[in-house]
Structure 1
Amino acid sequence: MRDLTPWLRLILKRRGRLFIGALLILATLLSGIALLAVSGWFITETALVGLLLAAGVKATIDLYVPGGAIRFFAVSRTVARYMERVYNHDTVLRLLTEIRTTLFRKLTGASRTGRSRLSGAQWLSRLTSDVDALDTLYLRLIAPAALALVVTGLVALLGWILFDGIVGTAILLFGLLAFLIATISVFYRTRDLAFRQSDQQEALRTAVVEHLEGFAELRAAGRLGRHGSWLLRQAHQMNVEQTRSETRVGWHQATSHLVLNLSAVFALRAGFHLYESGHLTGPVLVLLPIALLGLVEVYTMLPDAFGKLGGTLAAAARLNRDTEPATESGTDDAPLPADGVAVEANGITVRHEDLPPLLTHFDLTVAEGQRLGIVGPSGSGKSSLADTLAGLLPPAQGRLARIPCAYLTQQTVLFEDTLRANLTLGNPTASDAELWQVLELVGLGERFAMETRQLDTWLGSTGSRLSGGEARRVALARVLMTPRSLVILDEPFTGVDSDTREQIIKRMDRWLAGKTVLSLAHGPDALPTTDRVIHLRY
């Protein structure tokens, strides 16, 4: 349960909303139980009066009070159910927003090693199914379990008042036994299965996404059918595990219902003795057993929720593990270099996990305001070195110190949003004039001035409404907007023709005046203005 602690702490910040939501659920449950109990009492009373009248005995019945109570509880149950659904689903959506915001905040401080260990398909699983598993903690687990105990206690108190202390205590014990069977017992019986099932679901989801992404390659290699068959076998194994888990949940649900039904039989039996002794009337005798049968609705949702608690714990454990804060150097919290120095690398080794090193014993010192170019053929380690210098890839050995930087990665990343939103990621306080200025710098000012919505032009999924060169220039503009003294540019002019590149380089000289610039490319002609150039070789 320790893995759930940070997420429960986040959920419980909204105690006021959770309490109001719990009261609405409680009102719904109590109205439903009261409706059953009063209806049973009224039917029994009506039947007994009918028998007396048929036997020629004078008898009367009040139709208005119980009839009014039945109408009241029917309406209150409907209204409370509607309000509970609207209010609690709004609460869950708010919690989901906070969970995702917290998750992304943790990701920004997580170690690069932890982030790079997962594929895109695995991160998709984290941000969808794992988060969804957490946002139902309140509505599926916390509130129903707590309210089941409260309602059980109230029904036991009703038994104590209407019958006697022995009946009330027995009903409480029956209820607690049913609660343990429907919650803790289910959890321990399905925990390991749910853990495995959660891992299997993630693995299968990842494999399916990778199958779709590699469809052409699999088809070309003649492996499409075999890989599809393997996916079907994995899905079958997961279904077997799910069937085992749901079977155990079903048996526990049936057992808890049996205990509640036995408590109703016990209450009915005890009520007959009290009826024979004149302590109870016939209609009151059936009121408590019917109320106990109404508890079945309260307990029905518990086994399924606690049967999936193991999967929720597995999801929380994965999220906690993959968002552990960075402890290595190479982030903006790393030690700063000496005064007058922007980047200082001493004997660093650049290497990806489980792969041979790309660079070893690499030394580099870049003074503030200096412009350094790094060139080399594909595979020489330029982008990996850029990741290391930018703090995304920790050096395997050696020491790296640098001032905070802005980094243009080799891969262009644009969000499915407006041009303004993409640009202001680098500087949220930038004015429209500054945005137009940087667009003119990268040669896109006239291009977007002709658009109807101009800065609010929608760029599409990953910038799909732009050409490759235009998307690259928007990404470059975003980095240039970032107010950092160190700028690292990896292949800044990919997809940009030579004439446009020369114009951008001239404008960048003025824009980057006084800043330290590290740029990387295949050759010197693809670099902005530099003071010196380092050549990397295999």
Structure 2
Amino acid sequence: MTEQDAATSLPAQARDWLEHAAVPGRTTLRLAATCQALETVFSVVGWATLAWIAGRVLDHRAQPTWPVLAVLPAAGLLAAGAALAAARCKAVGRQRIGRAIRRRLVAAMLPTGRRRGEPDPATAALAIVESADDVADYHAQALPERLSAPASMAVIFLVTAAVQWPAAAILLLASLLVPLNMRLAGRFATEGADERVAASARLAAVVLDSFRGMRTLRGIGALARRRGELADAAAELNAATMAVVRRAFLSGAVMDVVITFSIAVNATYIGLSLLGYVRLPAAPPTTLAGALLALLLCPMYFQPLRAMAAAYHNRERATSAVPTIMALLADTDTMPETTGRTTPSPAGPVTVVLDDVAFRFPHAERPVLHRARVTFDAGCWTAVVGPSGIGKTTLLSLIAGMRSPSTGTIRWVSPADVSQPHLGGCAWIGQQTVLLPGTIRDNIRLGRPAAGPVDVERAVAAAGLAEVVARLPGGLDTPLGERGLGLSTGEARRIAIARAFLSDAELWVIDEPTAHLDPDAEAQIIAALRTATKGRTVIVATHSAAVARCADTVLGILDGTTHTVREATPA
């Protein structure tokens, strides 16, 4: 059918991926198909009973008995139950498929050593929020229809043929015309779906960029221009969406014409047969009950075709979403799967060794790092200094395992093993402290969800949070708003320190811990870090002279090369 045309527009690898995406919900969707077929059987029984009862009443024959009358509501209840079960199974299957796709996308978006490139935020957001649903919607509708439609149509066709085969022949001819008309009407659907995806990505990018740079836009007086760009992007998305709607409407209108014509021809033939004006030589005699049943089943025969047509248009959206999803997963799906596996922290003090490490961003002219050979001693503080944009944060992300080096190796050496860096094995404190809606206790326990009250209290004390918590009316159970509203920058960073302390990691990687703090708050954060990281390896990127003075070793970066500014003083 037309679904095959849509399929051939995708490369073989993308078609395989789209079909494989249905695996998590396939069993449930097959159950939905079974329920849909049962719904058709029960509906046919109900309509046949109704036609038989109506025929006997109108022919003034004996009144139907109560057992026969009971079949009608029983069949209706069974058909309704089967329909509800099918809808429920579809919803569950859709949820499972969407969840599986989002899980893979989130794993690809998270900073892990398996990802080789930085994804575009707008494209990633669109894929997770919308594209995953497009694929799930398609499978939830198409798979049950593809399995149940042949059986449902065959049941209706055979029953119609048993009571009035000319009517069944008309249904068969009409069903052969529907795919041809759908193919002609749906040729432009793929192009429209692609345009809509591109317009959605552009609008998401403009919105995201506007939120990120709102202060800058206001400062340079560019808000009016950005407002116009947002309006243009929204208008483009609206036009692309309406184009898809128009194409779907055209396809539906073509099918309605075919179906209406078929029903009209069937009704005309059956009416003329009942009046005796038309009599085919090999046709069975037309009874009132048989005529009613054939007319009642005629619209039911085309219902699976209608559903498959709707699934066809869902497929167009899914096929447009697949390339975007595959591009985001390309860097990770070929790597060993680690989702769901917790990597333990190294046991004992950690020495970090960089052997000829180089890193270059895609399409960049010069590498950020070039043949770095550095050893970060176990149990020591090392401060990484240099101008903004020189590569300090990139170096930290390489050490933490958030990026993979272009060349060279990075090793964590501990008494227990010699291993490559792995995300989760170290404590990472970035420039922005992420605090989720919830209590202070909940935010601290993100470092170790299974931590008990005593462990949390120890982390609070180590981070110097005790006085802050004591001032709050709810203590550790004080709720925090989105992004930690209600706390100062220094207090929020202490929560991040407590969270890292609770993780019990032997290696701490810290990016600008005292940025935007006054001298008093900076001194408090430095004191909290020194207490919390006692005996642990700490690598901290900083512009602060106070932080650099507290470090055992100071490492500089200049023109992609590393050099020692100050070595550790021998004990």
> Residue 447 of structure 2 aligns to a residue in which SS?
coil
The superposition leaves residues 431-457 of structure 1 with CA deviations (integer Å, 9 ceiling, x where unpaired) of 321121111111113433565654444
Cα pair 1:275 1:281 within 8 Å, conserved: no
Is 1:2 paired with 2:12?
no
C-alpha spacing 1:305/1:322, structure 2 compared with 1 (3 Å)? same
Greater shift in the superposed pair: 185-194 or 310-319: 185-194
In 1, are the aligned partners of 2:397 and 2:403 still within 8 Å (CA)? yes
Against the structure 1 CA distance between its residues 61 and 222, is the aligned structure 2 distance closer, same or farther, given a 3 Å change threshold?
farther
Partner of residue 521 from structure 1, selected from 542, 547, 553: 542
1:62 and 2:60 are equivalent in the alignment: no
Give the match's secondary structure for 1:363.
strand
Q: Distance in 2 between matches of 1:39 and 1:207?
A: 59
Residue equivalent to 2:352? 343
Asked if 1:117 corresponds to 2:119, the answer is yes
8 Å CA contact retained: 1:348, 1:362: yes
- Corresponding residue for residue 133 of structure 1: 134
SS in 2 for 1:410: coil
Query: Shift in Å at residue 373 of structure 1?
Result: 1.7
Structure 2 residue corresponding to 1:290, chosen from 296, 301, 304: 296
Q: Is the CA contact (8 Å cut-off) linking 2:185 and 2:250 kept in structure 1?
A: no
Aligned length: 518
Partner in structure 2 of residue 254 of structure 1: 253
Opposite residue 320 of structure 1, the aligned amino acid is: M
For 2:25, which of 2, 11, 22 is the aligned residue? 11
- Establish whether residue 178 from structure 1 lines up as the match of residue 188 from structure 2: no
Q: Which residue in 2 is equivalent to 1:54? A: none
Secondary structure at 2:297's aligned position in 1? helix
The 3 A distance-change label for structure 1 pair 227 and 513 is closer
**Quick one: which amino acid aligns to residue 260 of structure 1?**
I
The offset of 1:288, in angstroms, is 1.7
Correspondences of 1:272-283 after superposition (within 5 Å): 272=273, 273=279, 279-283=285-289
Say if 1:25 and 1:80, in contact at 8 Å, map to a contact too: yes
How many Å separate the matches in 2 of 1:211 and 1:501? 31
For residue 102 of structure 2, the aligned residue among 100, 103, 109 is 100
Cα 1:136–1:419 change in 2 (3 A) is farther
Match of 1:485 in 2: 506
Local SS of the residue matching 1:488: strand
Q: Rate the CA distance shift 1:23–1:389 in 2: closer, same or farther, 3 A.
A: same
- Distance of 2:72 and 2:211 partners within structure 1: 57
Who is 2:314 aligned against? 308
Cα distance, 1:301–1:417 mapped onto 2, change above 3 Å = farther
Question: Which of 439, 450, 468 is 1:429 aligned to?
Answer: 450
Q: Which of 356, 363, 366 is residue 376 of structure 2 equivalent to?
A: 366
Q: Does 1:323 align with 2:329?
A: yes
Q: CA deviation at 1:152?
A: 0.9
The one-character-per-residue Cα deviations of 1:403-431 (angstroms, maximum 9, x if unpaired) are 45332222222223443443333333333
Query: Which residue does the alignment assign to 2:390?
Result: 380
Inter-partner Cα distance in structure 1 for 2:40 and 2:482 = 46
- Aligned counterparts of 1:105 and 1:214: Cα–Cα separation in 2: 27
- CA-to-partner distance for each residue in 1:318-370, whole Å, 9 max, x for gaps? 223213344799x999xxx9x99732224434444444544434331223333
| 1:44 CA drift (Å) | 6.1
Change beyond 3 A, Cα 1:86–1:399: closer
Q: Structure 2: how far apart are the matches of 1:508 and 1:219?
A: 37
Residues 64-213 of structure 1 aligned to structure 2 (within 5 Å): 68-82=70-84, 84-85=86-87, 88-90=90-92, 92-108=94-110, 111-114=114-117, 116-119=118-121, 121-164=122-165, 168=168, 171-172=171-172, 174-175=174-175, 177-178=177-178, 188-211=187-210, 213=212
Counterpart contact for 1:179–1:299, Cα < 8 Å:
no
Equivalent residue for 2:305, pick from 299, 306, 309: 299
Measured in 1, the distance between the counterparts of 2:297 and 2:115 equals: 57
What SS is found at the alignment partner of 2:21? helix
Gaps spanning 5+ residues in structure 1: where?
Answer: 50-58
> Relative to 1, partners in 2 of residues 1:180 and 1:71: Cα closer, same or farther, differing over 3 Å?
farther
Query: In structure 2, the residue corresponding to 1:348 is in which secondary structure?
Result: strand
Structure 2: runs of 5+ lacking an equivalent: 1-14, 274-278, 413-420, 560-571
Change (3 A) 1:98 1:79: same
Query: Closer, same or farther in 2 for the Cα pair 1:33/1:385, shift >3 Å?
Result: same
Find the counterpart in structure 1 of residue 411 from structure 2: 401
Kindly report the root-mean-square deviation, in angstroms, between the aligned alpha carbons of the 2 structures: 4.0
Q: Deviations over 1:451-474 (max 9, x none)?
A: 565444433212223221111111
Aligned to 1:324, the other structure's residue is in SS state helix
State the alpha-carbon separation in 1 of the partners of residues 456 and 518 from structure 2.
23
Letter of the aligned partner of 2:18 in structure 1? L
Q: What is the rounded CA distance, in whole Å, between the counterparts of 2:204 and 2:528 in structure 1?
A: 47
Deviation at 1:125, TM superposition (A): 1.8
Distance change in 2, residues 1:2/1:200 (3 Å): farther
CA deviation map 1:107-136 (0-9, x unaligned): 44575443x2312x4333222112222332
TM-score by length of 2: 0.76
Secondary structure in 2 matching 1:323: helix
8 A contact 2:36–2:82 mirrored in 1: yes
Counterpart CA distance in 2 for 1:489 and 1:36 is 72
What residue number does 1:242 align with?
241
Aligned-residue identity in percent:
22
Decide whether aligned partners of structure 1 residues 324 and 455 sit closer, same or farther in structure 2, where only a CA change above 3 A counts.
farther
8 Å contact kept, 2:350–2:536: no
Inter-partner Cα distance in structure 2 for 1:452 and 1:185: 69
Does the 8 Å CA contact 2:494/2:525 hold for their aligned counterparts? no
Q: Hey, what's the Cα distance between the residues in 2 that align with 1:274 and 1:72?
A: 37
Tell me: CA distance 1:455–1:95, structure 2 relative to 1, closer, same or farther (3 Å): farther
Determine if the alignment matches structure 1 residue 22 to structure 2 residue 33: yes
Residue 465 of structure 1 is matched in structure 2 by 486
Instruction: Say which SS state the counterpart of residue 479 (structure 2) adopts.
Output: coil
Letter in 2 for 1:287: L
- CA distance in structure 1 between the partners assigned to 2:146 and 2:549 by the alignment: 64
